[in-house]
Structure 1
Amino acid sequence: MSAPAAAATRRRDAGAVPVEAAMLLPVVLAFVLIVVAAGRVQSTGAVVDAAARAGARAASLARSEEGARSAAEDAVRDVLGRRGVQCGSGAQSPVAFGTMAGPGGDLDTVTVTVRCDVPLRDLLGVDALNGKKTMTGTFTSVVDRYRGD
């Protein structure tokens, strides 16, 4: 190849790298944002699971069904509040009790289910997104038989 032909080829290729980078940058940026969003959804799900676990444990230590419900709701609100998870419709923590088959009907387990509707704009950090993601966590704890009467 002669010197003038090589120079002409170099001039035609000049600027190709910035154009390729400009085309690739939005794709890479979108991929990074998707990975960050998936991580935030996963960590929020873990917080909801932790709230259910704390609620079940608090309910298992209570001495009455009413006290168990109150203790579970307080524990759920505490965990969600400390971790900064804002439930759109408020945290719901229905407490379901299992009963023993023996006489007396003593309680043997308590199950707490936390259902939290988290707005997508809170998860992804983008105000333009509407909608919500429902996170559910369930945990069952054995009632402490020696908690007192």
Structure 2
Amino acid sequence: MMPMGRVLAKATHRHEDEGSAVIEAVIGVPAFMLFVGLIIFGGRTIMAHQAVESAAADAARTASIARSAGDASGTATAAGAASLKNQQVQCITQSVTVDTAGFSAPVGTPARVTATVTCRVNLSDLSIPGVPGSLTVTESATSPIDTFRER
């Protein structure tokens, strides 16, 4: 059995941690929200890189099956833009450049075409301290031109 003094002491000290949950929430919730925001930022960055890389591959493949350098440039640009649109990437600005120097190689000589896709992705809606308002993603892909096809 406890003496009466100890019982009273326990009864008067049992509410010392009142309000600590509020303090924990004030500190913890913003930290958690920052963590979630950084996960979203990372996911959007990775998805943008994958989409732009896929668009570059589509553009290079489309250019490699064209009959001339002029056709290759036009069809590759359209294919890269269509790929970004199909993947629902929201680019502030985008560009597709195609290196068609391989089309000037003589028939029978191995040649290739390279497509480079650049997309500036908007990140301003995240509102995370230290995260830029936009991110420029650039990827390139190369595809061989048929060695024995007339150019």
TM range (shorter): 0.7 to 0.9
Q: Retained in 1: the 8 A contact 2:114–2:143?
A: yes
1:62 paired residue among 66, 77, 82: 66
Give the counterpart of 1:26 among 18, 30, 36. Answer: 30
- Which one of 14, 35, 38 corresponds to residue 39 of structure 2? 35
Deviations 1:116-148 (A, max 9, x none): 1122236x488xx87321100100111123556
In structure 2, the residue matched to 1:13 is 17
Matching residue of 1:131: 133
Cα gap change, 1:107/1:69 in structure 2, threshold over 3 Å: closer, same or farther? farther
Counterpart residue number, 1:143: 145
Following the alignment from structure 2 to structure 1, what is the Cα–Cα distance between the partners of residues 37 and 61?
36
Checking the alignment, whether the CA contact within 8 Å between 1:111 and 1:140 is kept in structure 2 is yes
Q: Distance in 1 between matches of 2:63 and 2:43?
A: 30
Query: What TM-score comes out, normalization by structure 1 length?
Result: 0.82
What amino acid is the match of 2:139?
G
- Looking at structure 2, the residues matched to 111 and 39 of structure 1 have their Cα atoms a distance apart, in angstroms, of 27
Counterpart of 2:114?
111
Q: CA deviation at 1:10?
A: 1.1
Q: Is the 8 A contact 1:98 1:107 kept in 2?
A: no
Deviation string 1:16-70 (CA, Å, 9 cap, x unpaired) is 2232133211111111111111111110111001000000000000010011001
Q: Which has the larger radius of gyration?
A: 2
Q: Contact (CA 8 Å) 2:52, 2:139: kept in 1 or not? A: yes
Please tell me the residue identity of whatever aligns with 2:75.
A
Q: Which runs of 5+ in 1 are unaligned?
A: none
Equivalent position amino acid for 1:66 in 2: G
For structure 2, the residue ranges without an aligned partner over 5 or more in a row are none
TM-score (norm 2): 0.81
**Cα pair distance change 1:2/1:112, threshold 3 Å:** same
Alignment length (residue pairs): 145
The residue aligned with 1:96 is: 99
1:109 is displaced (CA, Å) by 0.2
Distance 2:127 2:47 in 1: 14
Q: Among residues 117, 120, 129, which one is paired with 2:123 in the alignment?
A: 120
